[in-house]
Amino acid sequence: MNNALRSNKFTSHLLLIVFSLLMLYPVIWWIGASLKTTGEMSSPSIWPSKPIWENYTQGWQFSPEFTFARFFGNTLLMEFWNVLGSILTSAIVAYGFARLNFKFRGVLFSILLLTMMLPGQVTIVPQYILYNKLQFMDSYIPLILPHFFGGGAFFIFLLVQFIRGIPRELDEAAKIDGASVYGIFYRIVLPLIKPALVTVAIFTFIWSWDDYFAQVLYLNSVGNFTVNLALRMYVDQFEVQWGKLLAMSLVSVMPSVVLFFFAQKHFVEGIATTGLKG
């Protein structure tokens, strides 16, 4: 029996290792390619014959006027406000839908859910016209402002389901102690939905970090460029600087990887317990 159990464990671990290597192969190739010369990119070998570490130093330098530190600073500043806006406003709106009784609550929540089925391309033109008339172009306002209006229907729905799993008896006990609606939200609900808020923060960070289209639509000055737009500068009409491009693109994914690594416990908890009734 023990031998059979060991055999099954060995087979399971072997399969997991094989599939993990298959999943990691593109990343390993990516790391190796970031150390190659342009002429060596077509080589079938994963690792370069002579690693070119200058791809990282020269890629980081970018130009005499700007380094990649400037673009990382721009992106992280935008991400800070995006994450903050999504967490605060989506939690407030979700609390209203989950706990408060008001007229047309069901209708408004249904309309909110319907917006999740609306393709983003439908709203691009009116949003662009609005921000252009408000003279918000070439600034981070068009990229940040939507996150301060609920953060998105998906996040509100996620938090509504999470809040509905919190026993209402806690609200009633807080009311008896004299807590107001705002006090219940701040002292009872907000601490209990921490895992879901971490999930919102991670999704907001990753989605807005990767939102190349919106960034290229609203940002024009090189000094305001995000990491995504700076990477695009390595591709021109006549040449692609593959080494620098791959090196800096590898560096650019590190913040998302680090964030997920440190917050994965809360992230998994937030996803796993959403919608469960307590």
Bigger pLDDT: 129 or 171?
129
Q: What is the pLDDT of residue 195?
A: 85
Q: What is the pLDDT of residue 270?
A: 57
Of the candidate ranges 30-39, 137-146, 231-240, 242-251, the one whose mean pLDDT is the lowest: 231-240
* Arithmetic mean of pLDDT, 152-158: 90
Query: What's the chain's Rg over C-alpha atoms?
Result: 24
> Is 225's pLDDT higher than 90?
yes
Bigger pLDDT: 46 or 96?
96
Q: What is the pLDDT of residue 278?
A: 41
Q: How confident is the model at residue 102 (pLDDT cuts 50, 70, 90)?
A: confident
Q: How confident is the model at residue 9 (pLDDT cuts 50, 70, 90)?
A: confident
Q: What is the pLDDT of residue 20?
A: 86
Bigger pLDDT: 76 or 242?
76
CB 131 within 8 A of CB 137: yes
Q: What is the pLDDT of residue 275?
A: 46
Which residues, 6+ apart, have CB-to-CB distance to 8 below 8 Å?
A: none
Q: What is the pLDDT of residue 24?
A: 87
Q: Which of 96, 243, 80 is nearest to 147 (CA)?
A: 80
Q: Provide the residue type at 173 as one letter.
A: A
The first and second tokens of residue 174, run together, are 């807080």
Bigger pLDDT: 133 or 260?
133
- What CATH class has 65-273? mainly alpha
240 phi and psi angles, rounded to 5 deg = -115, 120
CB 204 within 8 A of CB 210: no
